[in-house]
Amino acid sequence: MPADPRLFRFATSTWLLAALLAAPPVHAGDAHAALADCDSDEVGRVLAPAAATDTAARGYWLDRHRIAWPGAPMHGNFVLHHSAHASVVATPGLPVRGSDARWPLVRDAAPLPEALRRRFAFIGDGPRLRLQLADDAIRTLLRGELVLTQEDERGRVVRSTRLQHPGALDDLYAAAAAGHAPPLGPLLGEHASSLRVWAPTAREVSVCLYDTVDGPATARLPLVRESATGAWTRHVDDDLSGRAYTYLVDVVVPGTGVVRNRVTDPYSVALTANSMRSVFFDLDADDLKPAGWDGHDRPAPLASMVDMAIYELHVRDFSRDDASVPATHRGTYTAFTQADSHGVRHLRALRQAGITDIHLLPVFDLATVPESVCIEPDVPAAAADSEAQQAAVMAVAADDCFNWGYDPYHFNAPEGSFATDATDPAVRIREFRAMVQSLHAHGLRVGMDVVYNHTTASGQSPRSVLDRVVPGYYHRLDANGAVERSTCCDNTATEHAMMARLMIDSAGLWVRHYGIDSFRFDLMGHQPREAMQRLQARVDAAAGRRVELIGEGWDFGEVAGGRRFVQASQGSLQGSGIATFSDRARDAIRGGGPADSGSALFVQGYANGLHYADNGRGTGATRSDLLHAADLVRAGLAGTLAGYRMVAADGTDTPLSGLDYKGQPAGYAAQPAEVVNYVENHDNQTLFDINVFKLPAGTSAAERARVQVLALALNAFSQGIAYFHAGGELLRSKSLDRNSFDSGDWFNRIDWTGRTNHVGTGLPPANTNEKDWDLMRPLMRDAAISPTPADIAFTRDAFLDLLRIRASSTLLRLRNAEDVARRLRFHNTGPDQNPVVIVGEIDGRGYEGANFQALLYLVNVSPDAQTVVIPALAGRDWSLHPVHREPGSADDRPYDTRYDIDSGQFDVAARTAVVLVID
């Protein structure tokens, strides 16, 4: 709509702006043609092709008036060119062609405001320029094509660039991200419906309405722009519940032109099969709730975050191969409602022993799993080391029913492939809630693995949602304007106000409408600490209680070291109450690192033979290596606390922040609640599989089970949050697969009955494993590695005992760093220690929930019995923990522990974790 030029003030000729404002909008044609766009096979139609295809964006629009061009020379004239039809051509040595209007920019020597300086500290030096226009003029500019040029005195182009505009959008439309901003997405009231979508750079936005989920469009309605927020809205005096819709967004896409994108709602709460259309739903509607959903009993809030004992599980893995689940429910949300299935009985046993949270791998809408028809591979019966199984699986991987789910499509709607009927958008909502309700009924809290750090696609890809609504805003860009992909995929930019809002709004939705109790954040270190703290406040408010947040705090990529913002990473979350996974004890216990291949796969760790039971693979481990690994294990047992002090292998009294972990401080946390301890999760080889590589040849299946229990025990005894991967207690194998994210059901199976662990069921998929196949073949052929049902039952029952021991006393869940420092003491340390035995004593006197005057754990990882003499423990009445003494205790070796009260000598059986107490 043309605006009055008198509203604007600027430093150049008024006729240029008038020409811009008078430029006619691009239309697709008559109403019939516009409605046809709703049903076209094309999801993006070019209305006016771009005259130039160069999309490099080296300039930064810092706020509404400030522009920076890092790396450009300081001399020359700088001009901003605009085109309503994407017709700008900026050829070096020639004047600009196709520009509707041009604005000479003035140099800006004024200091940047501190917040702006911090936000753009990473961009480097270069000319800083100022655009003197009123807000409405800038809003108009942002809806067209913009090219910044450096020109000589004759107006010829020296160089040119496009602009990265998130800074300008965040400044100009700050009201859209404010706490009081109206909600986005579909809203339903009594006999009324409305939509709200943030699209500040769009020229026009309309909504296509469909009477059925897969029928043709029946209406196309224009939305109205809100000048202050950049949002577009539409109100209808009708109840549109259950009706499908999509948006048509007319927007300039750099290098493509003016495009009409048909796109789903970024705030979709429901979707048709395969995410083709969004659906109007009021999530508070009764027909979207299973019986008894409102007010259903939920587990009581935890007294402390360290009380969390988490079990990580994939929805499809849970029941896909469980014959006790009716076929129509296998692999679905509803499998969790089958009270007598093998899987549900197993979960109940875990809860009774001490597991508090089931953390589900991603269950929001995924991009790569067909929801309506997926292909089941025909896996042949073949040799243990055959390539045939993986070939069959990978031949259909793009169309099969499995993926971990780290490929987000829509953040606010449940995934349809886990529903019994993906064609009815209401079913997945009801069934998701029924799953949560069932887990709550068993006393299990429900955690959700969320992936806000990247999307599956960006740009004009059909699977791109955010970037086709607001091109260039939602993703983090490099110095040339290309999307960063350090996470694996197309990185989102949660440092931008509206991407942060989307993340925070989404988490709040899952808590309020689906009863989610806790979250695990994928690659959380790629997000700002400040945004995560705001998210914490939102979800707590939505729940009316604390919602625990944990995440991967790895520090890498374009944001590493706080380059762009203070990250939600291991080194930056101290005092936040948000927890990160610790790799310190994980790597020390397992050996090597998570991405090893080749000979590095055989590097041993503390639990599987480092130096003391060499596997003969030539890794050359020394006693010094073993001593350092033991110190790192103790660091994990002490909650990875930066300030905790102990006697290290060199004999010095040192804080854990002074202990080296691959060039980093071993201790980094301020409180035990900020650390997640684990030895296995969905990533990388399972614990059993990594031990296939690392344990000495000839290690029996029964001894492999004992090594598994030792690693689980060190995890269970560690201060902080305990995290376990589904099936670790069943010796779960993925047939040595190092990355089973798309390896199909075959390589991700769990047998809850404990008859098999699926090791030796074919070489793992070639895409991430082929380079190591020759190392794997002899291991796969070794039938002695395969556990018997008795080995699996022992591991399971021993794990349940470990959970019971952890749950029995707050001494294994100390509340704060001061408690850990005051009450936890390690014995058998320093250069003269017996390094294969860890001894930790915890003082329980006067501690709430301790239940014992003292607790002592001894973990002997050696294949031989060991003796340690600790005079400080002499003269005290130590006895086996009650769980060890129970008639049904899984492990009889703790009974072989001998303690001499006079000398403080302990004789500990081979490969045994034992807990002693003083009542």
DSSP 641: B
Amino acid (one-letter) located at 675: V
Amino acid (one-letter) located at 343: G
How far CA 104 is from CA of 10, 74, 131, in Å, comes to 10, 15, 8
Catalytic residues: 522, 552
Instruction: Tell me how long the chain is.
Output: 919
How far CA 708 is from CA of 45, 506, 596, 688, 728, in Å, comes to 56, 38, 20, 7, 8
Q: Which tokens in the block code for residue 302?
A: 């935890």
Cα separation, 13 vs 808, whole angstroms? 79
Contacts of 133 (CB under 8 A, 6+ apart): 8, 9, 10, 65, 103, 141
Q: Given the structure tokens 């910044």, which residue do they identify? A: 148
Contact yes or no for 151/158 (Cβ under 8 A): yes
Residue 31: Cβ within 10 Å count: 9
Cα separation, 551 vs 542, whole angstroms? 20
Q: Which tokens in the block code for residue 644?
A: 């905790």
Q: Which tokens in the block code for residue 83?
A: 């085109």
Cα separation, 235 vs 233, whole angstroms? 7
Cα separation, 587 vs 573, whole angstroms? 21
Residue 685: Cβ within 10 Å count: 26
Local structure of 606: helix, strand or coil? coil
Helix (H) or strand (E) holding 691: helix 687-694
Cα separation, 636 vs 348, whole angstroms? 28
Cα separation, 510 vs 503, whole angstroms? 11
Amino acid (one-letter) located at 504: I
At residue 473, φ and ψ (nearest 5 deg) are -105, -50
Amino acid (one-letter) located at 650: D
DSSP string over 515-550: ---EEEETTGGGSBHHHHHHHHHHHHHHHTS--EEE
Cα separation, 763 vs 779, whole angstroms? 10
Cα separation, 537 vs 532, whole angstroms? 9
